[in-house]
Amino acid sequence: MKSKKSAKNSNDKVLLVGFPSNGLVGTFTISYLIHIQKMKQIGEIDHPGLPSTFFVENGEILAPIRIYNKDNLYVVISDLPFDPFVAYDFAQSTLGFCKKLKISKIIIVSGLGTIDKVSKKPKIFGLITHPSLEETLYKNEIPKFLSGSIFGTDAAIISVFRKSNIPALVLYAECHPFFPDLEASIVAITSVAKILNIKVDATDIQKKIEQLRIQHRNLMEETIKALHQQHEKQPQARAPQIYR
């Protein structure tokens, strides 16, 4: 039986994308994978619509949207929430980067806000832009996102990638919509790690995610404001209701 190739030993180039959304799932997940893979920053993305903001970590000045790399695995991560107009430009820039480097697959990680998640383990769902990724869902036992509405930042980004010839997989982890959701982030991390054949340790994940929660304690408030603004502009939108 052939073993599954990882992003490290495969010739295929994979891009991970994360940005602040429900539960900060995308931010936490991608930040942790950068940490565990010891990825190096190779660039950044700037946009006039973003506020003049920088972050300082261990004495290093970091731009809000950065690009990382290790072997054939690439990452684009944003530490700032943005509106759909900026999100569309962000996606266009990311797509241009993918074409330049001949990226073969894109994985976007986001949170699916649900107030019903009390004690049960968060579920994760996959939304694909190309049939070639059906096998990825099947092999990793990820159920499809079957029915619902997508709007705001997520919709703006998906609209760009679905028109390209680079297949994209969007992973939605059930999470609390108003608080950083560590449990949902752990589910998302283990799912991405399984797809990429990356080994992760549950204890290490919990420790690092807790550190990220403290570091980004103000980001959730900014993200909630951005999400509320998007909801107000989309009064007819409804949350996904049917999954299988």
* pLDDT at residue number 224: 59
* pLDDT at residue number 156: 85
CA-to-CA dists, residue 66 to 34, 175, 229, 235, angstroms:
11, 25, 25, 32
Contacts of residue 183, Cβ cutoff 8 Å, sequence gap at least 6: 121, 122, 175
Superfamily, domain 14-233: PAC-like subunit (3.40.50.10900)
> In the beta sheet, which residues pair with residue 172?
110, 125
* pLDDT at residue number 64: 78
User: Is residue 192 within 8 Å of residue 131, measured between CB atoms?
Assistant: no
User: Is residue 94 within 8 Å of residue 76, measured between CB atoms?
Assistant: yes
Whether this prediction's pTM lies above 0.85 is answered by no
pLDDT one digit per residue (tens) for the chain, 244 residues: 333 444 544 578 999 999 888 888 998 899 889 989 999 999 988 766 665 666 666 666 677 789 999 999 999 998 888 777 788 888 888 999 999 999 999 999 999 988 665 557 899 999 999 999 999 999 999 999 988 888 778 888 899 999 999 999 999 999 987 778 888 999 999 999 999 999 888 777 877 777 766 665 555 555 555 555 554 554 443 444 333 3
> In the beta sheet, which residues pair with residue 15?
74, 106
* pLDDT at residue number 33: 94
User: Is residue 161 within 8 Å of residue 91, measured between CB atoms?
Assistant: yes
Nearest one of 33, 96, 90, 36 to 63, comparing CA atoms: 90
* pLDDT at residue number 237: 39
* pLDDT at residue number 15: 96
User: Is residue 210 within 8 Å of residue 31, measured between CB atoms?
Assistant: no
* pLDDT at residue number 148: 80
* pLDDT at residue number 4: 43
User: Is residue 52 within 8 Å of residue 145, measured between CB atoms?
Assistant: no
